[in-house]
Amino acid sequence: MTMGPIKYLTIHCAATPEGRDVKPETVEQWDRAKFGQKSYHWIISRDGDMHKSLNDDQKGAHVGGHNTGNIGVCYIGGMDKDMKKAKDTRTPEQKKSLLTLVRTYIGRYPGIIVRGHRDWPGVNKACPSFDVKAWLDSEGIGG
């Protein structure tokens, strides 16, 4: 599948319980079972490890109808321990890795628009369980 010019970077959460160490390969298995392919370009483990899942020129399956030209980044977590409520469970290491990826893609693709999954039209989810624009603003990065 052709990716097209990169215009967006969308941040997601894996919707896994707070504190649970889910391996990136497990997320890839879930996505292959659900979508027939890997969904994300990057999956960030709780320890901040950045697992490359797709190359930039490969189209993911992470925002229905909006995957062309869209880099998907997913962090492990996003739900409370009981899986009842969305919660920003990012560890300091995950936040650092997310910033690294956002800064890298802003440098690589000038004009790229960074948003959360929930910020796409028609998406009725809490994902990524935090306000991406407010977070980027607090970090001095325009999204």
Q: What domains does the chain contain, in order, with CATH numbers?
A: 8-134 (3.40.80.10)
Q: Report d(CA 46, CA 64) in Å as an integer.
A: 26
pLDDT in tens, 63-114: 988 999 999 999 999 999 999 999 999 999 999 999 999 999 999 999 999 9
In this prediction, residue 59 carries a pLDDT of 94
In this prediction, residue 3 carries a pLDDT of 79
- Count of positions (residues) in the chain: 143
Question: In Å, what is the CA distance from 137 to each residue of 4, 114, 118?
Answer: 28, 11, 17
Q: Cα 7 vs. chain centroid, distance in angstroms? A: 15
Question: In Å, what is the CA distance from 29 to each residue of 40, 46, 56?
Answer: 12, 18, 20
pLDDT in tens, 22-59: 999 999 999 999 999 999 999 999 999 999 999 999 99
In this prediction, residue 4 carries a pLDDT of 79
The H-or-E segment that residue 103 falls in is helix 92-108
pLDDT band with cut points at 50, 70 and 90 for residue 142: low
